[in-house]
Amino acid sequence: MATPKIIVIGAGVMGQGLAEAIASEGNEVLLIDKTMRLAERGVRGIAEAMDREITKWGLTESDKKAILARIIPSSDLTLADEAEIVIEAIPEDLEKKQSLFAKLDSLCPPDCLLITNTGTISISEIAAATERPEKIIGMHFLNPVTKIPLVEIVKGLKTDEETFEKAVAFAQLLNKEYITVNEYPGYVTTRIIVPLLNEAMHVLMEGVATAEDIDRAMKLGFGFNVGPLTLADMMGLDVVMSWMENLLRELSEHKYNPCPLLRKMVRAGHLGVKTGKGFFEYDEEGNKIKKE
């Protein structure tokens, strides 16, 4: 089998969502992680997510089979030497991202679209690790990728128009609406949502209301589809805290200082849906467990 022309690097929650979204549109995709075990675990995560959709009549078994057949796990980064699109979805760590993009710069063809999915880190800083900063762009997808119709296309200081147009075409390939963002810490979605989540956590910590009532107030009062504390659990509390810390470091504004309750929960390993416990408790399928 020929190597797919689209590669996702990082088989965590976001990488899984990206790979599934790409494969769902009929494209083969290579899902790469540091080891084959991690890459294969990522594919299993995709299969489990689709099983949950099947129980809700959102997918069929034949859909699942076809999608999984288009996702190829690997630990071989050198396969990027023939890629047309590479999207990075590794943890929010500038040095790790720069190291990865330096490697991709030496491996990938000159016309390859190189994308970072970062939500808070500077595209320009990542691009500075390469000899082609004009060819690096940010595409900030939101989780779950397969369901949220938006992507932020983020231009670095040196991103050229050709690269932007390729990113737009990729967004259209995935049937996503896009907004254009000029690089600034947090872009649009992360910068706006983080203070809201942080304030909801402070309201809970201060005993103003229960987690259930805080979420209910925001859903009924302001038309939110999901409450802020449930949303934080879905995103992963460790991820939310890393966003806050990055924005605090970049902008030095107290509103991004992680709530002490959030820090306490992350230290305890209560990271939300993925660990079964966050502001709420969840079963193995990620469904919220209602209190008696």
Please write the tens of the pLDDT for every residue from 142-151.
988 999 999 9
- Do 62 and 150 lie in one domain? The reply is yes
**How many domains are there within the chain?**
2
- How far apart CA 22 and CA 7 sit, in angstroms, is 10
Surface-to-core class of residue 275, CB atoms within 10 Å of its CB (0-12 exposed, 13-18 middle, 19+ buried)? middle
Residue 272, pLDDT > 70, answer yes
In a domain, 290, yes or no: no
Give the per-residue pLDDT at 120. Answer: 86
Q: At 198, which CATH number? A: 1.10.1040.10
Q: What is the DSSP string of 225-258?
A: SS-HHHHHHHH-HHHHHHHHHHHHHHH--GGGSP
**pLDDT tier for residue 57 given thresholds of 50, 70 and 90:** confident
Q: At 19, which CATH number? A: 3.40.50.720
- Do 163 and 215 lie in one domain? The reply is no
In a domain, 280, yes or no: no
Residue at a domain's end among 125, 155, 182: 182
- Do 155 and 24 lie in one domain? The reply is yes
**pLDDT tier for residue 263 given thresholds of 50, 70 and 90:** very high
- Do 210 and 109 lie in one domain? The reply is no
- Do 97 and 201 lie in one domain? The reply is no
Mean of the pLDDT values across residues 230-236?
A: 94
For helices 260-267 and 237-251, give the axis angle rounded to 10 degrees: 130
- Do 66 and 12 lie in one domain? The reply is yes
Give the per-residue pLDDT at 284. Answer: 82
Reference 187, options 223, 142, 228, 136; nearest CA is 142
Give the per-residue pLDDT at 292. Answer: 62
In a domain, 89, yes or no: yes
Percent pLDDT > 90 in the chain is: 86
Mean of the pLDDT values across residues 200-211?
A: 98
Mean pLDDT, the chain, rounded, equals: 94
- How far apart CA 122 and CA 140 sit, in angstroms, is 12
- Do 42 and 160 lie in one domain? The reply is yes
**Could you tell me which residues come within 8 angstroms of residue 137 by beta carbon, excluding any fewer than 6 positions away?**
113, 114, 115, 116, 123, 153, 154, 155, 156, 159, 163, 164, 167
Mean of the pLDDT values across residues 1-11?
A: 86
Residue 154 CB: number of other CB atoms within 10 A? 27
The residue with greater pLDDT, 58 or 112, is: 112
For helices 189-205 and 211-222, give the axis angle rounded to 10 degrees: 130
Give the per-residue pLDDT at 82. Answer: 92
- Do 210 and 177 lie in one domain? The reply is no
In a domain, 284, yes or no: no
Tokens 């128009």, located at residue: 161
Residue 1, pLDDT > 60, answer no
Domain span at 255 = 191-275
**Could you tell me which residues come within 8 angstroms of residue 122 by beta carbon, excluding any fewer than 6 positions away?**
94, 156, 183, 185, 250
Residue 8, pLDDT > 80, answer yes
